[in-house]
Chain A
Amino acid sequence: SALAMSSASTTPPSVDKVDGFSRKSVRKAKQKRSQSSSQFRSQGKPIELTPLPLLKDVSAQEQPELFLKKLQQCCAVFDFMDTLSDLKMKEYKRSTLNELVDYVTVSRGYLTEQAYPEVVKMVSYNIFRTLPPSDSNEFDPEEDEPTLEASWPHLQLVYEFFIRFLESQEFQPSIAKKYIDQKFVLQLLELFDSEDPRERDYLKTVLHRIYGKFLGLRAFIRKQINNIFLRFVYETEHFNGVAELLEILGSIINGFALPLKAEHKQFLVKVLIPLHTVRSLSLFHAQLAYCIVQFLEKDPALTEPVIRGLLKFWPKTCSQKEVMYLGELEEILDVIEPTQFVKIQEPLFKQISKCVSSPHFQVAERALYYWNNEYIMSLIEENSNVILPIMFTSLYRISKEHWNPAIVALVYNVLKAFMEMNSTLFDELTSTYKSDRQREKKKEKEREELWKRLEDLELKRSLQSDGIIPT
């Protein structure tokens, strides 16, 4: 587009028919999915594995020994970022892993005591690694394509094998717990930060099985998940596997015995509730809300602290998150006991009243939908004496002022419902609306005056201390 001037100068300026802006799109085509892998372990010389016979080709007595040998061979880790290296050996390991997967699924009597440490060693060698740095500087899980694990062709089979091993009928936790210990679990949990959703999905199953089979590790697992969440909320705001961990927790909470231990309540209030503050809430909100509701179904007395917690962290500027909060709140209200509702209705409806008058119509609309929920409606009706005065001002004002006609229509319905519920109170509020507003204005003015006086005082004092006005 450069240098159009010389020709332009000969034509006289005319009325601009077109807008002078040119709109060039310089956006590049979408990049293809990127791959990455930890490269620290696999450097240097080519790997040589001596091919072994197939397990099915040897006698039953020889199988356990050969099984161990194959496990040892599979400890060799290949560099998948280099697509040309060790091709033959990569293929050999792949087929061996496939064979091992079938073997632990079908065979009986393969799990000798010596096999346990070798299985855990093979799995550890393959899956435990420092996750590579994220490709994009600020990986945004909502925008960016995840970087996939390059060594997946092997890794997947290792996970597959491990899950079959854990699920095998011959598997004995009492032997395995010597090898699947706290350190193992800790490393496993760190892998949940993997950017590759396929890996996180396998990890979820693995952790679930371990939690189910190793009673001695349960408290430890819960505590470490706590730590991961706390670091996520208060330190880094970055961890890819939050949704997966919450999903596991959902079923763990389901199994909690009653009455709930203090530890579990603390987890709810100090960890799960603050998780709502994280920027990327949308990525795990469904799983989080599920956990919260699970808790409340276990112990309704937790309703008040939960709702107060949500109100404390209510989003101020992010409408998208506000809509999520409103959705979760409705899920909670669906299971709330009337006695709990009464305890929390005032602060709750003060917030709902703010949401209803939000200029963002999706927020207002989401809040107004509560009035379509029969159970919530019945609770409101029972307590209209308290709720109506809180809601009235906002509703009345929006019915006159909101820019969005759909919202105005919804508000009319809500007002109508209130009128039918409690016409005496409704009429009273209507008639005092004006005087209430005036009283508020007057109060506001008094506030301003108070502050003005205070500021004058401060000014005077600072002049005094500067020695300008003698005391």
Chain B
Amino acid sequence: MAGAEGDDSLYPIAVLIDELRNEDVQLRLNSIKKLSTIALALGVERTRTELLPFLTDTIYDEDEVLLALAEQLGSFTVLVGGPEFVHNLLPPLESLATVEETVVRDKAVESLRKISQEHSPVDLEVHFVPLVKRLASGDWFTSRTSACGLFSVCYPRVSSTVKAEIRQHFRTLCSDDTPMVRRAAASKLGEFAKVLELDYVKSDIIPLFTALASDEQDSVRLLAVEAGVSIATLLPQEDLEALVMPTLRQAAEDKSWRVRYMVADKFSELQKAVGPEITKTDLVPAFQNLLKDCEAEVRAAAANKVKVFCENLPEDSRETIIMTHILPCVKELVSDTNQHVKSALASVIMGLSTILGKDNTVEHLLPLFLVQLKDECPEVRLNIISNLDCVNEVIGIRQLSQSLLPAIVELAEDAKWRVRLAIIEYMPLLAGQLGVEFFDEKLNSLCMAWLIDHVFAIREAATCNLMKLVEKFGAEWAQNTIVPKVLGMANDSNYLHRMTTLFCINALSGVCGQEITTKHMLPVVLKMSTDQVANVRFNVARCLQKIGPVLDSSALQAEVKPVLEKLATDQDMDVKYFALEAISVLALA
């Protein structure tokens, strides 16, 4: 509990308020962010009688300041004297809930929702509900928009008369003149339905849902879709068909692609909400239509859901439904004209193999994977490769390896460095699944080529990749295959490549162990300490610091120390700096 009273001599309110009024926005913002400190200094009494009225009166500030204020007030209950006085926070928050800027308003609503829970049931009806009503009947759309988010937090805790009033207000807002308010109401419809008694859900919410779902503006209709899902979870199975399904069916065939997109996007939730029977009779054909929609956006959203939808189909008919209804659509999507659709499908299609089992996967899915692995769009191929583990569990990856290799090679050389980066990140996984022989034969040279890529991020990732490969295949493998090549680069004429050697040693010394590090790596590093390029020399110092712990003390004293001491007298200040740092970290002074 905060102190009950502040000390006026130390912290006169005028000084504190001056801080909140400072001409510099940044300073004002800082002060507002420390509003709790100011309140603490003032004590609860004066916070209520002086600070809050001041804040309420001077609400016309920059939105950024208002945002900070709205946030602060949400956790101010203790600073005004606890739940008994929490309603003192309502006036400033009410003003904040009417400002134009959406971020500020949303934050004010969030804080109001938070402190509503700290009101006693009586205070809620005396102070909070009247505020909600005022907002709900405000002149400008902003206050009505804010009101939409406040109904559900008071409804469960008020008397039945007040409940009736709240329902009435909500109804009014659902048919508001401005689409902004209807959108706000539609987006809170589901949440409000959840706190209503079932009878009122049927008598009040359903008509509102139906009306919003056929609003003239598609931006309102699409929000009703989401509400529909929530409402469906609340109704008993036998009511769904009559009360919700006609509207949802209509939404799935809406003339606006945005609405259909929303249906596709919420399809898994919808499936859960309506249960297995309606899924079979209604959702399966609806899903087929969405997968064949004329707009690529909708197809892509539906394609994203293929796996989850199939997974959640009722078990008794899952395989039949997939094989006869879904798979034919999926086959068409594999050669869709739009790359986003193909890419969305590629990110989930592998997941079907676990559902369909080995035989179906080999017969029906494998050909699709192979087509996608040859797709012209790199994201499609990448998405297939990144999900190989699903297939590996079912049929083993070997079935794919012949097609996999060209796909990997092509991605490895893609013109976009982000694509190259993505495929590097899957290398350790692929190496594990394909085995060391396959790797050495087909992929090793790729991994080495990345080390001299012209983009640093790729060289860096390649270094890290080598480390992970050594973790998989062991130190002996490292010594025979990659260490010689890495060390060879120390003589490259390009200093960036020489530095790559050092970065690789940094990454590899730990996994390769003391013997390899001391015998093979250390001499190369030490030799590079005389490099002409200062960047190489200071990286030698950093590298020595890094591999020091792997070496034994005699190597440190006899070989590392003299070199670092020499570098510590280098003309270049960065080289000096890193050499001295290494000496101190390795305790060689």
A residues neighboring B (CB under 8 Å): 1-6, 8-16, 20-24, 26, 39-40, 43, 130, 132-133, 183, 186, 227, 230-231, 234-235, 270, 274, 312, 316, 350, 447, 450-451, 453-455, 457-458, 461, 464-465
Known A1-B452, A3-B449: A21·B493 in contact at CB below 8 Å: no
**Residues B257 and A40 in contact, CB atoms below 8 Å apart:** yes
**Residues A230 and B180 in contact, CB atoms below 8 Å apart:** yes
**Residues A40 and B40 in contact, CB atoms below 8 Å apart:** no
Q: Which residues of A contact B41 (CB under 8 A)?
A: 454, 457
**Residues A9 and B11 in contact, CB atoms below 8 Å apart:** no
Known A13-B531, A39-B294: A453·B10 in contact at CB below 8 Å: yes
**Residues A186 and B297 in contact, CB atoms below 8 Å apart:** no
Q: How far is the CA of A1 from the CA of B454 in the complex (A)?
A: 9
**Residues A461 and B492 in contact, CB atoms below 8 Å apart:** no
B589 touches A (CB below 8 Å):
no
A20-B497, A453-B11 given. 16 additional CB < 8 A pairs? Answer: A2-B452, A5-B448, A6-B488, A8-B491, A9-B492, A11-B491, A20-B495, A130-B255, A231-B219, A235-B180, A316-B25, A450-B11, A454-B41, A457-B37, A458-B36, A465-B1
Q: Which residues of B contact A26 (CB under 8 A)?
A: 415-417
Q: Which residues of A contact B295 (CB under 8 A)?
A: 39-40, 132-133
In the assembled complex, the CB of B397 is this many whole angstroms from the nearest CB of chain A, namely 26
Q: Which residues of B contact A16 (CB under 8 A)?
A: 493-495, 532-533
Q: Which residues of A contact B532 (CB under 8 A)?
A: 13-16
Which of A4, A5, A11, A183: most chain B Cβ within 10 A?
Answer: A5
From A3, A13, A227, A450, B445 is in contact (CB under 8 Å) with A3
From B25, B36, B491, B533, A9 is in contact (CB under 8 Å) with B491
**Residues B449 and A454 in contact, CB atoms below 8 Å apart:** no
B482 touches A (CB below 8 Å):
no
**Residues A455 and B180 in contact, CB atoms below 8 Å apart:** no
B316 touches A (CB below 8 Å):
no
**Residues A457 and B40 in contact, CB atoms below 8 Å apart:** yes
Q: 22 A-B Cβ contacts within 8 A? A: A2-B413, A3-B452, A6-B488, A8-B491, A10-B491, A13-B492, A20-B496, A22-B454, A24-B454, A130-B218, A133-B295, A230-B178, A270-B140, A316-B25, A350-B23, A451-B34, A454-B37, A455-B37, A457-B40, A461-B2, A461-B3, A461-B40
In the assembled complex, the CB of A114 is this many whole angstroms from the nearest CB of chain B, namely 28
**Residues B494 and A230 in contact, CB atoms below 8 Å apart:** no
Report B336-376 residues with CB < 8 Å from chain A CB.
none
B19 touches A (CB below 8 Å):
yes
Q: How far is the CA of A338 from the CA of B497 in the complex (A)?
A: 69
Report B415-454 residues with CB < 8 Å from chain A CB.
415-417, 445, 448-449, 452, 454
Per-position 1/0 for B473-498, Cβ under 8 A of A: 00000000000010011011111111
Q: How far is the CA of A415 from the CA of B273 in the complex (A)?
A: 73
B558 touches A (CB below 8 Å):
no
From A227, A231, A447, B19 is in contact (CB under 8 Å) with A447
B210 touches A (CB below 8 Å):
no
In the assembled complex, the CB of A178 is this many whole angstroms from the nearest CB of chain B, namely 19
**Residues B485 and A5 in contact, CB atoms below 8 Å apart:** yes
In the assembled complex, the CB of A15 is this many whole angstroms from the nearest CB of chain B, namely 5
From B27, B183, B413, B492, A5 is in contact (CB under 8 Å) with B492
In the assembled complex, the CB of A80 is this many whole angstroms from the nearest CB of chain B, namely 13
Q: Which residues of A contact B183 (CB under 8 A)?
A: 235
**Residues B257 and A133 in contact, CB atoms below 8 Å apart:** yes
Per-position 1/0 for B41-61, Cβ under 8 A of A: 100000000000000000000
Known A16-B493, A234-B101, A465-B1: A9·B179 in contact at CB below 8 Å: no
Nearest residue, chain B, Cβ from A3: B449
**Residues A454 and B491 in contact, CB atoms below 8 Å apart:** no
Known A20-B497, A457-B40: A5·B531 in contact at CB below 8 Å: no
Nearest 7 interchain pairs by C-beta: A20-B496, A2-B449, A39-B294, A26-B415, A8-B492, A130-B256, A133-B297
Nearest residue, chain A, Cβ from B100: A274
In the assembled complex, the CB of A45 is this many whole angstroms from the nearest CB of chain B, namely 15
In the assembled complex, the CB of A59 is this many whole angstroms from the nearest CB of chain B, namely 41
In the assembled complex, the CB of A228 is this many whole angstroms from the nearest CB of chain B, namely 9
In the assembled complex, the CB of B416 is this many whole angstroms from the nearest CB of chain A, namely 7
Report B1-46 residues with CB < 8 Å from chain A CB.
1-3, 10-11, 15, 19, 23, 25, 27, 34, 36-38, 40-41
Q: Which residues of A contact B498 (CB under 8 A)?
A: 13
**Residues A454 and B34 in contact, CB atoms below 8 Å apart:** yes
**Residues A13 and B491 in contact, CB atoms below 8 Å apart:** yes
Known A13-B492, A130-B255, A234-B100: A3·B37 in contact at CB below 8 Å: no
Q: Which residues of B contact A22 (CB under 8 A)?
A: 454
Per-position 1/0 for B383-422, Cβ under 8 A of A: 0000000000000000000000000000001011100000
Q: Which residues of B contact A43 (CB under 8 A)?
A: 294
B189 touches A (CB below 8 Å):
no
From A4, A9, A465, B452 is in contact (CB under 8 Å) with A4
**Residues A5 and B40 in contact, CB atoms below 8 Å apart:** no
Which of B140, B183, B218, B497: most chain A Cβ within 10 A?
Answer: B497
Q: How far is the CA of A3 from the CA of B102 in the complex (A)?
A: 55
Q: How far is the CA of A230 from the CA of B489 in the complex (A)?
A: 61
Nearest residue, chain B, Cβ from A22: B454
**Residues A13 and B493 in contact, CB atoms below 8 Å apart:** yes
Nearest residue, chain B, Cβ from A230: B180
In the assembled complex, the CB of B396 is this many whole angstroms from the nearest CB of chain A, namely 31
**Residues B448 and A3 in contact, CB atoms below 8 Å apart:** yes
Q: Which residues of A contact B102 (CB under 8 A)?
A: 234-235
